[in-house]
Amino acid sequence: MISHELNDLITRIGPGTPAGAVLRRYWQPAALSDELAGERPVVPVTLLGEKLVLFRDDEGQLGLIQRHCPHRGADLCYGRLEDNGLRCPFHGWHFNRDGQCVEQPGEPEGSRMHEQIKARAYPVAERNGIVWAYMGPGEPPAFPNFDCFRAPESHVFAFKGLWECNWLQALEVGIDPAHASFLHRFLQDENPDEQYGKQFRDRAADTNIPITQVLRDYPRPEISVEDTAYGLKLTALRHMDGGLTHVRVTNQIFPVAISIPMSREMIITQWHVPIDDENCYWYAMFTSFDKPVDKDLMRAQRLQEHTLPDYAPRKNRANNYGYDPKEQGTQTYTGMGMDINVHDQWAVESLGRIQDRTDEHLGKTDIGIIRYRRMLRAAIKALQDGDEAALPMLGATNVAAIQGPLSNDAVTDTTDWQSASQSADARRRAACPWDATV
C-alpha cells in the first residue's frame, strides 16, 4: 500500500516528471522495423507522452522528430518524404532527419529564419527488428551486450502489442513469478511438441513433464531476488515430488524490461514502454539459442491476435477478452483462451488505467515488485541529486560488458539450485550456433 503521491511519482512519465527523467536515460523501443517496411516508411510514434514521427529518408537513414510542425503545428506524419527528411505539406517547410529546418520556400528570398528553427529530434538506432530512441540529455548510453542484441538477425524475432494501461503495472506482471501458476493455468496439458513459438508450453528442462503441469501442481514458489548490474535477478523454486526442484530464473532489466525463458530453445526479452501515462506497448525480442527463428510462423501466430497498424489485441476490454465461463470451468483458469498474452493483458488492464496502489496488499510472493519499486525510487532520487552515475548501467559501468542475462528453467535433484541453473545455461550456450559464450 502506498500513498497517492508516491503512486503518481513512480507511474507518471511525461516530460518533466521524475520517473520520466529516469526512463529517458535509457534506449527505449520506438517501433518495429516491420512498421517501416511498407512503401512509405513514415509512422507516428507516441513515446513517453511525446508525439513524434519516425521515418526512413531517401538515404536510408532514420529520423525521429516532433510530430507537429514547428511552424503552425500541422501533422508531419502526412509530410512529403523528400531528400534527407520530411517536408510539411502546409507551407513547405523542410526538416532534415536531425530536425533542422533547411528550407522555408514561402518566406522571402534570402531569408535565414530557417537556421533558427529546429524540430525536437531524438537519436535512433536499429537492432534486430526494433528501432530504438534515446530521449534523454547528452549522448545516448551504449547498448548492453544482451543475448537479444548479440544474436544474429536470423535468431531473433521482434513483435509488439498494445496494452491500455500504465507501463508500471504491465512491467510488474513480468516480475511476479507466482501468477503463472494461476493466471496461465491450463487444466489439461497439450502436447509440448506442437507448441512452437508459444510460452509455458514446453517440457520443464530435461524432464518429460510439461511446464504447464509443474506450474499447476506446485503453486507456492519460493522466490528470491538479487541485485545485479542490469537490475534484478529473480529465482523461483518449486519443490516437486520425488525430491526434484524446478528452478526458474527471470530478470528485471532496468528500467522497463524483463528477460524470461520461453522454451528450452528460446528466451523473451520484453520492454514495457510507455506510450503515455495510460497506455503502453510490450516489445518482445524472441531469441533462439538453437535453430533460426521461424519468423513467418511466429508473426502469423501473433497477427491472428492483433490488428494493424496499432498492434491492438483483438481480444480486449470491449469484448470482455473473449471470456467464456464454460471454458473457465474446463480448460483454462481465465476462460480467455490459450494465448497467455491475453491473460496478462486482462490482468494488467483490469487494474484500471493507472492502478490505485493505495489499496493494494502485497504478499511475500510480491518481493520482485517491492524490490523494483525501491530501485526505481532510488534512481529517481539519484537523478534529483544530480547523481546520474548511480543509475543501473549508467556512469562507470561498462555497459557493453553486461551479458546474458541468464533466463532459464532447470530441474535438479540437489539443493544447489544455483549451479543447476548455471550448468543448464552453460550447456545451452555451448551448443548454440552463434557465439553465446559468457
Q: What is the DSSP string of 316-335?
A: SGGGGGG--HHHHHHTBSSS
Nearest distance from residue 82's CB to ligand FES, in Å?
Answer: 13
Specify which residues 82 forms β-bridges with.
85
- Binding test (CB under 5 A) with Fe ion, winner from 344, 349, 366, 425: 344
Site string (33-72) toward ligand FES, x via CB under 6 A: ------------------------------------x-xx
Nearest distance from residue 116's CB to ligand FES, in Å?
Answer: 15
Length of the chain: 438
Site string (88-107) toward ligand FES, x via CB under 6 A: x-xx-x--------------
Residues near 184 by beta carbon (within 8 Å), at least 6 away in sequence: 200, 212, 215, 333, 340, 343
Site string (67-86) toward ligand FES, x via CB under 6 A: --x-xx-x------------
Q: Which does 93 bind (CB under 5 to 8 A by kind): Fe ion, ligand FES, none?
A: ligand FES
Is residue 249 within the footprint of ligand FES (CB under 6 A)? no
Instruction: Kindly state the number of chain residues that form the binding site for Fe ion, as judged by CB under 5 A.
Output: 1
Comparing CB distances to ligand FES, the nearer of 104 and 287 is 104
Comparing CB distances to ligand FES, the nearer of 71 and 299 is 71
Q: Which amino acid belongs to residue 215?
A: L
Q: Which does 299 bind (CB under 5 to 8 A by kind): Fe ion, ligand FES, none?
A: none
SS3 413: coil
Burial label, 59 (beta-carbon count in 10 A; 0-12, 13-18, 19+)? exposed
What is the C-alpha separation between 388 and 380, in angstroms, rounded?
Answer: 9
Percentage helix, strand, coil for the chain under 3-state DSSP, each rounded to 5? 30, 30, 40
Comparing CB distances to ligand FES, the nearer of 23 and 88 is 88
Nearest distance from residue 179's CB to Fe ion, in Å?
Answer: 6
Specify which residues 51 forms β-bridges with.
46
Q: Which does 344 bind (CB under 5 to 8 A by kind): Fe ion, ligand FES, none?
A: Fe ion
Q: Which three cell numbers stand for residue 2?
A: 502506498
What is the C-alpha separation between 212 and 385, in angstroms, rounded?
Answer: 46
Comparing CB distances to ligand FES, the nearer of 92 and 292 is 92
